[in-house]
Amino acid sequence: GESVGLHLPTLSVQEGDNSIINCAYSNSASDYFIWYKQESGKGPQFIIDIRSNMDKRQGQRVTVLLNKTVKHLSLQIAATQPGDSAVYFCAESGGGADGLTFGKGTHLIIQP
Amino acid sequence: DSGVTQTPKHLITATGQRVTLRCSPRSGDLSVYWYQQSLDQGLQFLIQYYNGEERAKGNILERFSAQQFPDLHSELNLSSLELGDSALYFCASSRETGYQPQHFGDGTRLSIL
């Protein structure tokens, strides 16, 4: 079946730099996308979401970009901090179904 | 703290047994979802309930069942347990259905010996 995937399993960035985490999806019916952060021993924590009628949405230090033409989603984290170290998942739903399809996750490592 | 409460945090049992996992959604949330997270399969959607009724099924085995009670808490029942059922089981909730962010609890870690 169709699924959401991530390009890189691990991303290492310097503290203070910007981080960009990418995600590709294949389901053309997907119209709702969410980024989650998961720390060790915790459940996925909601970061930001975007609907398919938008191509950009900003939150506090985070921006999500959606390119429907190439079915690509990205999460930008500004001024990365040690507390941003976690596994980041993109997830999508669509076609009237609410159950989320998750990507495999990117482990963000912050270098001091 | 997401506001979603799951109990127990850890569960250790043997093959062939049956267990029940419990979830209390965030106050005011009507929709409850169950997910399984394992190293080989990642995070997978199992089932969704909305206001007491089953709304959608994902990759849920026939040995697994769930329900949502009038007070909106939910239980996931896993029976005839196999070694491969060892995983983290997460519950999430959202206010309504549709374009709603789902908020996750911290999961129940199930270990089958």
Can you point out the beta strands (E) in B51-86?
53-57, 64-68, 74-78
The region, left, alpha or beta by phi > 0 then psi within -120 to 50, assigned to residue B95 is alpha
Interval B82-99: pLDDT, tens: 999 999 999 999 999 989
Most B CBs within 10 Å, among A98, A104, A106, A107, to test the B interface: A98
Share of chain A above pLDDT 90, in %: 82
Q: Is the pLDDT of residue A7 over 50?
A: no
Residue A103 structure tokens: 């990507």
**Does residue B102 sit at the A interface (CB-CB below 8 Å)?**
yes
**Does residue B95 sit at the A interface (CB-CB below 8 Å)?**
no
Kindly provide the b/e burial profile for residues A51-70, where b requires at least 16 CB atoms within 10 angstroms of the residue's own CB: eeeeeeeeeeebbbbbeeee
> Which of the four pLDDT bands, split at 50, 70 and 90, describes residue A8?
low
CA distance A28 to A95: 9
**Does residue A87 sit at the B interface (CB-CB below 8 Å)?**
no
> Which of the four pLDDT bands, split at 50, 70 and 90, describes residue A96?
confident
CA distance A14 to A77: 12
